[in-house]
Structure 1
Amino acid sequence: MKGHYRKRGANTWAIVVELPADPVTGKRRQKWTSIKGTEKDAQVALRRQLHDLDTGKLSHAEKLTVKRYLEQWLDSKARSSISPRTHARYREICEKHISPAIGKIRLDKLRPLDVQRLVDSLPDKGLSRRTVLHVFRVFHNALERAVRLQLLSVNPASAVEPSKPDQADIAVVDSAGAAKLMDEVVGTRLEVPVALALGAGLRRSEILGLRWGDVDFDDGRATIRQTCQLVKVEEPSAATAKKKTPRFELRFLTTKTHRSRRSVTLPPSVVGLLRRSKASQSERRLLLGAGWQDNDLVVERGDGKPVRPDTLTKQFHKVSDRLGLGVTFHGLRHSHASLLLKGGVSMKAISERLGHVSASFTADVYTHLGRGIEEQAAEAFDRVVKHER
C-alpha cells in the first residue's frame, strides 16, 4: 500500500493513505487525516497508518455501510455455486431482517453489540428461534467474507451466541406404518416417490430430478446428480417497470454440495418397482407420441413433464392424513434414517446415504432417535444377562 504526507499550514500536515479499490464500484479510495506537529511527527503517523492498514487495524471499509456490503455480498453469491433458491432466501433475509435494522451502520463501525441487538430484536417480530439462528448464520457468513477481504479485522458476529432452538420432535413411521403406507399407494403415482423416500432416504427434490440414466439396474444403485425445484423468478410487472412481481418456475439444478452428489444402493424391492415403472412409462410414451416431453425422468406427470414439488406434497398429505400417520413427505426421509438406526446401521453410514454434510450433523438431527436405540440396547443387555443366569 502507498501513502504520503504533505504540509498544509504552520505545523499542520495531511497524511494520505491509498486504500484498496471500492469492492462494489472498483473506484480508487484514499484515507486523509490531519495532524499537528513537526515533519518527523508526520513521518511517524504515516508509518503507523500504513502498518495498521497492513495488519487490518485500519479498516478498508470506510463509507461502506452494512446494507451496501450485503448487496455486494449477495451479488458475489449469485455468481457462486449456490442454488437460485438458496440465493433468494439469503436475499430475503438480508433485505427483510438485517438491512432494515442495522443497514445504515458503517461496516467498519459494526460492533458485537450491534449484532447482539439485531438477534435480540428478531423474536419480537414473530421469528422463531430456529429462524433467528438461520438469520444469524447467514450474517456471520457474510461478515466472514468481509474479514477475508480485509474489510474487517475481526468478525463482530463471532462474539455473539444466539439461543439455539429446541430439538424438534421428528414424526416418523415405524416398520408397520411403512408397510401400511406402501400398501396404500400401490399402483398410484405416489408409489415410486414414496418408495424412493422411504426405501432410499432421498429428498423430494432429488426424487423429482432423478433420471433413468442415473439408475443402474444391474448394480441396484441410483446416482444423485440433479434436483428439481421451484425457483422464484423476478420479472418486471406490466403495471410498472420499477416493481417486480414474483413468479415461480420449475428448474433442474445440480446438487447443493459434494456430499449430496452420491450413489445410493436401492433395496431389491425398489429396484423391482422401478423396472415395472419404466416399462409402464414406455407404454405411455408410445401412446402419447408427440405429446410426450422427453426429460428422462423417473417421476413425471404422465406425459414426461416434471412434477411440481408442492403437488407431490399435497397428494402425499392426503394419504398420510387418511391413514392417520401424521408424517410429512420429508418425514419419510427421517423414517428411513430411523429404520436404519434401529437396524444397527452406523451413524456415519447413514450420513453418507442421506448426503449430509457430516456425520456430526446427522447425529445432531437424530439425537432423540439415537437415545431410543441406546435404551433398546440396554434392555437387550438385561434380557441376555437374565437368560444366562
Structure 2
Amino acid sequence: MKNLSESEVFGSVPASGQNVGQSPKTTTHGAMLKLKQRIQRNTRKYFGRPNAPYYLLRIQCRGCREWFELGSDLDSAAKLAREIDCFLRLHTWEETRSKYKPAFAAERSELTVGRYIELVGQHGHLDPCTLYTYAARFRRIVSGIRKIKFNGTDKFPGKAEISRWRAAVDGTRLNTITPKLIAIWRDEYVARFPANTPERIRVEHTANGVLRNARALFAKRVMRRVLTKCSDLVLPSPLPFDAVEFLPERESDYFYTSEVDAKKLIEAAFAELSGNQLVIFVLAIGAGLRRNEIDKLLWSNVELATGTVTIAPTKYGRLKSDSSVGKIRLESQFAEVLRKHAEISKGEFVLISDVAPRPDAVYRQYRCTKDFKALCLWLKGKGITRSTSRIHTLRKEFGSHLADRKGILAASSGLRHSTIGVTRKFYVSSKIEPTSFFSGDSELKPLTAVSSNTAELMKILKNLLEEKAV
C-alpha cells in the first residue's frame, strides 16, 4: 500500500461520509486478493457511534469484512491503515482484530449466555418452540455449574419480568462454561443414585437428553447463520460442548413393554369415561395421535361418515415433522364415539374448551390441559405407571396392536415415523404369548409380529433369488 495523503484519498473531504472506495483511487493488492480500502469520516452510522470525529477503515479479505477505527488525525489514520493492511497479509483475522480493535478482547470475554441465546433467536432460524427448549436445557446446565439458587425458572416465558434466577444465568459469561465443567455437571447429576438402579438409568437418559438439546444451540448450521450476520462476534474456543460425550446407553433400556391389556383398558374407558376424556382416549389408542395433534384437531380434518382422521398442518401450528402428515381410519366403535361427540361439539375444534390456541407461544400450549391431566390420573389407576407419558403410552399401544396385525412396517407408517428404527426401538411392545403345553401348539407367537415381518422379507428374498436363477 502506498502512502495516502488527504488529496489522494479524499480529494475534497465528503461531509456526507461517501465511500471513497467507489472512486478510482481505491487500492487493490494482488496478494490480498480483492482488498478494498475505505477511509472515511463516520458522518453516518456505518460503525459505532454516528457523527464520531474519527476516521474509519473497512477491509475485505479472505471472505471477511471489518471496520477499524483510525483516530481523528488523517495523517495518523493513513499510516495506521497501511499498518493494518500489512499485518493482515501475514496474520489471521483473529490476530488482526485482537491487535487493532481495542474492544475485541472485551467483546470476546463479555459475551454472555443470554446474549448468545438472543443472537441464536435472531439469526439461527430455529422454530420458537425449539429454541425455547434448547435454551431452557442450556440454562439448566449453566445454573447447575454456577450453583445459581435464586427463585424463579424459565418455565413461564410469557411473564413480563425476568426472574432473578434467569437474570443470573443469562448474565454468566459464555467463556466460563467450559467442556470440563459441563462434564463435571453431567457426572454429578447422575451420581445422586447408585449405579445400575432404575433411578440411575432414568437420570442418565435425562442427562443425555438435556445435553443433546443444549448442544444443539451450538450446531454448525446455527453458528454459521449467526456468524454470517454477526461477523464481529467471536465465540469461545473451545466451545462449551466440544468433546463432551454422552453417557453410555443400552438400546434395550428404551424398549417398550406394555403394562396393560389394551382390550380390557378400552372396555373400561367406554364404561367410565365421557366427553373430552373419552375422545382423547379414542384418538390416542385408536389412531395413534400425539397430545398436541389431539388438542388442535379440527372437525374439518375428520370425515365422520368413514371415521377417517387427517393429520396435517393448520393455521394453529405445524406438525412435529414432515413425516407426521397422514390419514388414519378409525375402527367402527371408535368412529361412533366421534359421531356422538360431534352432536355436542359445535366449534371449530373437536375437543371442547374455553381456552383459545396460541400459535405464537414459544412453549407447548394446550387448550385442554385439565382433560389431559384427568385422563392421566385415570390411566394411572388402570396400571399405567409411566407418569411422564401416560397418554403417549396409548399411542404406543396403538403401534403394538397395528404391528401385531399388519407387521412392523405398517406400524411405522401408521405412527407416521420417519424411520422404522424409531418404531422398533420405542413403540412396539415385545410381549410374547406363552407356549401352550396342552393344545399341541408349541410355537411362540410374538405379539409385535416382528418375526412374521421377517418371514415376509425372507419370502421376498427367496422369490428374488429364484427369479435370478431362472
TM-score range, shorter chain: 0.5 to 0.7
Aligned to 2:317: 253
Aligned to 2:186: 119
**Partner of residue 49 from structure 1, selected from 92, 98, 104:** 92
* Mapped partners of 1:311, 1:138: distance in 2: 28
Secondary structure of 2:402's counterpart equals helix
Asked if the contact 1:133–1:164 (Cα under 8 Å) also holds between the matched residues in 2, the reply is: no
Asked if the contact 1:172–1:334 (Cα under 8 Å) also holds between the matched residues in 2, the reply is: no
* Mapped partners of 2:213, 2:89: distance in 1: 37
Q: Does 1:311 align with 2:354?
A: no
Aligned to 1:208: 295
Distance 1:165 1:171, change over 3 A: farther
Aligned to 1:179: 266
* Mapped partners of 2:405, 2:413: distance in 1: 16
Aligned to 1:198: 285
Q: Where in structure 2 are there 5+ consecutive unaligned residues?
A: 1-33, 38-57, 70-81, 97-103, 147-171, 194-201, 228-233, 358-365, 436-441, 447-470
Asked if the contact 1:18–1:29 (Cα under 8 Å) also holds between the matched residues in 2, the reply is: no
Aligned to 2:152: none
Q: Percent identity at matched positions?
A: 20
* Mapped partners of 2:411, 2:112: distance in 1: 40
Aligned to 1:332: 394
* Mapped partners of 1:173, 1:339: distance in 2: 12
Secondary structure of 2:328's counterpart equals strand
**Partner of residue 104 from structure 1, selected from 157, 169, 173:** 173
After TM superposition, the structure 1 = structure 2 runs for residues 1-389 of structure 1, keeping only pairs within 5 Å, are 2=35, 28=67, 46-49=89-92, 62-63=108-109, 65=111, 67=113, 68-76=115-123, 80-83=126-129, 86-98=130-142, 101=145, 103-106=172-175, 112-113=179-180, 115-123=182-190, 128-144=203-219, 145-146=222-223, 157=241, 159-164=243-248, 167=253, 172-185=259-272, 187-218=274-305, 220-225=307-312, 252-281=316-345, 294=347, 296-301=348-353, 308-324=367-383, 326=385, 328-346=390-408, 348-366=409-427, 369=429, 371-372=430-431, 379-380=444-445
* Residue 188 of structure 1: how far off its partner (Å): 4.3
* Residue 267 of structure 1: how far off its partner (Å): 2.2
* Residue 210 of structure 1: how far off its partner (Å): 0.7
Query: Higher relative CO (CA 8 A, sep ≥ 6), structure 1 or 2?
Result: 1
Distance 1:62 1:374, change over 3 A: farther
Distance 1:162 1:336, change over 3 A: same
Distance 1:172 1:209, change over 3 A: farther
* Mapped partners of 2:224, 2:355: distance in 1: 48
Distance 1:106 1:191, change over 3 A: closer
With 87-96 and 125-134 compared, the bigger mean Cα shift is at 125-134
Letter in structure 2 aligned against 1:335: E
Asked if the contact 1:116–1:160 (Cα under 8 Å) also holds between the matched residues in 2, the reply is: yes
Q: With structure 1 as the length reference, what TM-score do the two structures score?
A: 0.61
Asked if the contact 2:60–2:66 (Cα under 8 Å) also holds between the matched residues in 1, the reply is: no
* Mapped partners of 2:62, 2:443: distance in 1: 62
Letter in structure 1 aligned against 2:401: L
Letter in structure 2 aligned against 1:315: A
* Residue 206 of structure 1: how far off its partner (Å): 1.2
Distance 1:19 1:209, change over 3 A: farther
Superimposed CA distance per residue, residues 77-107 of structure 1 (whole angstroms, 9 cap, x where no aligned partner): 5x64343xx4433332233323774852439
Aligned to 1:286: none
* Mapped partners of 2:289, 2:260: distance in 1: 16
Aligned residues: 309
Distance 1:310 1:51, change over 3 A: closer
Q: With structure 2 as the length reference, what TM-score do the two structures score?
A: 0.52
Asked if the contact 2:59–2:66 (Cα under 8 Å) also holds between the matched residues in 1, the reply is: no
* Residue 192 of structure 1: how far off its partner (Å): 1.5
* Mapped partners of 1:158, 1:378: distance in 2: 51
Distance 1:164 1:374, change over 3 A: farther
* Mapped partners of 2:137, 2:243: distance in 1: 21
* Residue 201 of structure 1: how far off its partner (Å): 0.9
Higher Rg of the two aligned structures: 2
* Residue 115 of structure 1: how far off its partner (Å): 4.4
Secondary structure of 2:396's counterpart equals helix
* Mapped partners of 2:217, 2:276: distance in 1: 42
* Mapped partners of 1:28, 1:92: distance in 2: 35
Distance 1:139 1:378, change over 3 A: farther
Secondary structure of 1:161's counterpart equals coil
Distance 1:106 1:305, change over 3 A: closer
* Residue 194 of structure 1: how far off its partner (Å): 0.9
* Residue 309 of structure 1: how far off its partner (Å): 3.8
* Mapped partners of 1:160, 1:276: distance in 2: 54
Superimposed CA distance per residue, residues 310-341 of structure 1 (whole angstroms, 9 cap, x where no aligned partner): 31233213433444554622221121112223
Asked if the contact 1:262–1:355 (Cα under 8 Å) also holds between the matched residues in 2, the reply is: yes
Asked if the contact 2:287–2:329 (Cα under 8 Å) also holds between the matched residues in 1, the reply is: yes
CA RMSD of aligned residues (A): 4.7
Distance 1:114 1:75, change over 3 A: farther
Superimposed CA distance per residue, residues 331-367 of structure 1 (whole angstroms, 9 cap, x where no aligned partner): 2112111222332422x43233223343222222137
Superimposed CA distance per residue, residues 238-295 of structure 1 (whole angstroms, 9 cap, x where no aligned partner): xxxxxxxxxxxxx94322322223322322322232222213435xxxxxxxxxxx4x
* Mapped partners of 2:127, 2:355: distance in 1: 28
Distance 1:62 1:280, change over 3 A: closer
